[in-house]
Amino acid sequence: MTIPEEREIDLMVYKLCELTYEEINKIDSEFEMSKEEYEKNE
């Protein structure tokens, strides 16, 4: 599995668990999306 695929899976899990952008940043220091990108990626 590649890094982009892993990030895609992470994003799916975050959305499935309904985590907020702030919660994600607490648990994943390598999360690279902006808050706007994350919120529109539904």
Domains: count for the chain: 1
> Minimal CA–CA distance to 33: which of 1, 2, 14?
14
Residue 41 pLDDT class (50, 70, 90 cuts): confident
Confidence at residue 27, expressed as pLDDT on a 0 to 100 scale = 95
pTM for the full predicted model: 0.81
35 Cβ neighbours under 8 A, 6+ residues apart: 21
Q: What is the pLDDT of residues 1-32, one digit of tens each?
A: 789 999 999 999 999 999 999 999 999 999 99
Q: Is 29 helix (H, G, I), strand (E, B) or coil?
A: coil
Confidence at residue 26, expressed as pLDDT on a 0 to 100 scale = 96
Measured CA to CA, the distance from residue 30 to residue 26 in angstroms comes to 10
Q: Give the range of the structural domain holding residue 23, as residue numbers without chain letter.
A: 3-40
8 Cβ neighbours under 8 A, 6+ residues apart: none
Where do runs of H (alpha helix) occur along the chain?
Answer: 3-16, 21-27, 35-40
